[in-house]
Amino acid sequence: MTYLTRDPLSVDRLVAEVASPTFGGTCIFLGTVRNGADEQGVAAIEYSAYEEMVEAEFGRLLADARGRWPEARIAVRHRLGTIPVGEASIAIAAAAPHRAQAFEACRYVIEEVKRRVPVWKKELRVDGSEIWVDPSGRPTTKPSHV
């Protein structure tokens, strides 16, 4: 199983992976590259990762989720490389017999990704500068050789 890709994410493919006639609810989460009021001037974000650990950590994380919601089925992909504003960097699909499990499992996975999965992002700004983004979402560190 690989949870990483450098290609645009396909929601249809993820939904197909979790679909079942016994499921009544499917929840989709997309995390997208933002150029919001706090950022201003973001053209794209370059995502990098400790790829071997990402694969291992997603395996552990999804095993944890299966322990909490045994009836749910969950699929996830994280995209790496340069992703333009508006495109998705992560997609999660969680399906379950009932909607509450689907919502809860989907939320659990994205929150655990933020906490556990070793991925980093560097803002590529329209003025040509590059800034590493800190976990709170605000860039704080300018590389010395941009």
> Cβ 117 to other proteins, closest distance in Å?
5
Query: Torsion-angle region of residue 66: left (phi > 0), alpha (psi -120 to 50) or beta?
Result: alpha
Q: Which residues bind other proteins (CB under 8 A)?
A: 31, 47-50, 52-53, 56-57, 78, 89-90, 110, 113-122, 132-135, 141, 143-145
| Alpha-carbon distances, residue 1 vs 52, 76, 114, 140 (angstroms) | 12, 11, 20, 34
For residue 56, the minimal CB distance to other proteins (Å) is 4
Looking at the Cβ atoms of 73 and 121, the one nearer to other proteins is: 121
Nearer to other proteins, 10 or 141 (CB): 141
Least CB distance from residue 76 to other proteins, whole Å? 10
Nearest-approach distance from CB 134 to other proteins, in angstroms: 6
Nearer to other proteins, 20 or 129 (CB): 129
Backbone angles phi, psi at 114, to 5 degrees: -60, -30
145 burial via Cβ count (<10 Å: 0-12, 13-18, 19+): exposed
SS (H, E, C) 5-65: ECCCCCHHHHHHHHCCCCCCEEEEEEEECCCCCCCCCEEEEEEEECHHHHHHHHHHHHHHH
Q: Which is nearer to other proteins, 23 or 89 (CB)?
A: 89
Residue number with CB closer to other proteins (23 or 58): 58
Minimum CB separation of residue 64 from other proteins in Å reads 13
